[in-house]
Structure 1
């Protein structure tokens, strides 16, 4: 398994590097995913050790937690019109997306995860814990992410001359290296305390606590990119034995959902901006289900308060995580016909 893991991650590295040349959003994750997925569909034997995969999940949990600051979330009280709009938008995305993906015949539970409005990483982590089919969930979220972020960048291009989606690099520090060891430790503590999703929520909680204590929790760029690379390669390897026709079939529903998300977000943003002093573009960036980092960078380029945008995305992420057990119970009872591949 070690040899196959090294080969698979190596192939993912090539895919991530190529994706960076085309400035794709989440290049190291999506590039790795698509490269390994395509080779798996062509019959290449791929696979990633589960321990490495879950270690990457723990690191991503720590990374997301380090972005959660209490003072930023406190500002949501003053932005309640757009927060309420975001809650309505979440419901519309979950219900509308669920209806769209049940048409793809992927099963009720997989349709629910495919319809998650944002946070591809979290959706994959939660789906894996619930024994969901990561192939279809990864396809739907990849298409949603590329479509939404590209659409946001095109929109921003009408307001500014240059838009870049590249994240700022973080220098390698001793503290950042120590945080690398904190992820598996918090994963172990999460299991000991029997919290749900210990490999994800344990490190995420630790990252948030440390960040709010005033400690600089900036992780080195190579750590985050490595986690994206491993997760993308691991998901791509799940396509072994899958037919191209199934991927193309699922892709139609993924693009439909992405366009649905953009149109509804634009309508919601227009309503909020019409009855409040909040700017249309600011509300739109806070609503559309793109990556937190990409939306924050676009906001900064356009002169919009990135805290306003990021706080909405973080709140939506937290709500989705804690709502998942209830939604799983809803879609799993009573059991109905479904679960077939597209």
Structure 2
């Protein structure tokens, strides 16, 4: 293992210890994220975790899949009432975000467009690079979007909803039947492999989710992955956000990160409006509505929904719809706007 990766693991571990010692929320997610962010801003040469990152995301895919039950399927018509608002939600975000980055921040067309799209980070960077956008700028803006949203949500959950985020996200490994653990591992690796083979977007999450969902519906899996696995996923996903800022310059901090924070404020207003509408309509409770429309990263929002004890299927359904819409339609909209 490289020195950069060892340093990243050490810094992340210190972040967990610091958050636990200070009794701060979500120490295994926010601790590594904050510690790596501080280290990166201080000039530390941290390194990514390579294939470990998607491996950790398979745990989230399995966890989400365990929420797919006959009861969940029966509630799909109810969820659809809220999910149908997601296209409007994405359209408004684009209509507000693109002019903000283009006119206010002065970015070129492809950079402004793909910075405004609330899709998966990697997909937006690939599309943006192909369109001629500034990859570094887009990366920092999306990383800032995830960082700000994921950092603020736990504060809101503990102050507004009075949630106890110290509750373990699952049972201990010894409480999960061995045959179910084996099925989870098979679903994680097999679903990931299958997703890659069919070029499924977000294969490391969606593939295991589909495989586990099928096993859950069949009654073969009745438990979530053990708490230890979910905590490990939090750890690596948290450090991945923080390491996005490695090598950041003063100008990037002043221009791109500031633009990202401003964009987050706009996103917060839009998301709050939709969440409030869904809650007032009686479709779901305010917490589920809030988490469903909070435009953070798919992995990070899945973790927060798990820890909050939210309706995981409801929340993830909205995020999947958002990502699918953006990945499918963003390149088309970008070409159309580029001709305008």
TM-score (structure 1 length as normaliser): 0.74
- The alignment of Structure 1 onto Structure 2 pairs a total of residues equal to 319
Aligned match for 1:123, one of 104, 114, 120 = 120
> Alpha carbons of 1:111 and 1:285: their partners in 2 closer, same or farther (altered >3 Å)?
same
In structure 2, runs of 5+ residues without a counterpart are 130-134
After TM superposition, the structure 1 stretch with the greater mean CA deviation from structure 2, 230-239 or 134-143, is 230-239
Distance 2:271 2:71 in 1: 26
Q: Does residue 143 of the first structure (1) align with residue 144 of the second (2)?
A: no
TM-superposition CA deviations, 1:255-284 (whole Å, max 9, x none): 43443344334444555566x455773675
Aligned residue for 2:57? Answer: 57
In structure 1, runs of 5+ residues without a counterpart are 157-161, 301-305, 337-342
> Alpha carbons of 1:135 and 1:218: their partners in 2 closer, same or farther (altered >3 Å)?
same
TM-superposition CA deviations, 1:123-171 (whole Å, max 9, x none): 3454466565543312221102223443354333xxxxx4323343421
> Alpha carbons of 1:239 and 1:283: their partners in 2 closer, same or farther (altered >3 Å)?
closer
Aligned residue for 2:172? Answer: 171
> Alpha carbons of 1:192 and 1:315: their partners in 2 closer, same or farther (altered >3 Å)?
closer
Q: Conserved in 2, the CA contact under 8 Å of 1:67 and 1:208?
A: yes
Aligned residue for 2:47? Answer: 47
Q: Conserved in 2, the CA contact under 8 Å of 1:148 and 1:288?
A: no
What secondary structure sits across from 1:190 in the alignment? helix
Q: Does residue 93 of the first structure (1) align with residue 93 of the second (2)?
A: yes
1:100-111 aligned within 5 A: 100-102=100-102, 103-104=104-105
Distance 2:117 2:198 in 1: 27
After TM superposition, the structure 1 stretch with the greater mean CA deviation from structure 2, 186-195 or 221-230, is 186-195
TM-score (structure 2 length as normaliser): 0.74
1:288-299 aligned within 5 A: 288-289=293-294, 291-292=301-302, 294=304
Q: Conserved in 1, the CA contact under 8 Å of 2:45 and 2:246?
A: yes
Q: CA RMSD in A?
A: 3.8
> Alpha carbons of 1:6 and 1:247: their partners in 2 closer, same or farther (altered >3 Å)?
same
Aligned residue for 1:319? Answer: 321
> Alpha carbons of 1:218 and 1:78: their partners in 2 closer, same or farther (altered >3 Å)?
closer
Note the C-alpha offset of 1:47. 1.0
> Alpha carbons of 1:66 and 1:104: their partners in 2 closer, same or farther (altered >3 Å)?
farther
Aligned residue for 1:303? Answer: none
> Alpha carbons of 1:187 and 1:16: their partners in 2 closer, same or farther (altered >3 Å)?
same
What secondary structure sits across from 2:230 in the alignment? helix
Q: Conserved in 2, the CA contact under 8 Å of 1:33 and 1:235?
A: yes
Q: Conserved in 2, the CA contact under 8 Å of 1:140 and 1:251?
A: no
> Alpha carbons of 1:216 and 1:284: their partners in 2 closer, same or farther (altered >3 Å)?
closer
Aligned residue for 2:78? Answer: 78
1:120-269 aligned within 5 A: 123-124=120-121, 126-127=123-124, 133=136, 134-156=139-161, 162-168=162-168, 169-172=170-173, 173=176, 174=178, 175-176=180-181, 179-180=184-185, 182-214=187-219, 215-268=221-274
Note the C-alpha offset of 1:182. 4.3
Note the C-alpha offset of 1:17. 3.3
Q: Conserved in 1, the CA contact under 8 Å of 2:61 and 2:205?
A: yes
What secondary structure sits across from 1:321 in the alignment? helix
> Alpha carbons of 1:259 and 1:239: their partners in 2 closer, same or farther (altered >3 Å)?
closer
Q: Conserved in 2, the CA contact under 8 Å of 1:25 and 1:145?
A: no
Distance 1:112 1:180 in 2: 38
Q: Conserved in 2, the CA contact under 8 Å of 1:66 and 1:208?
A: yes
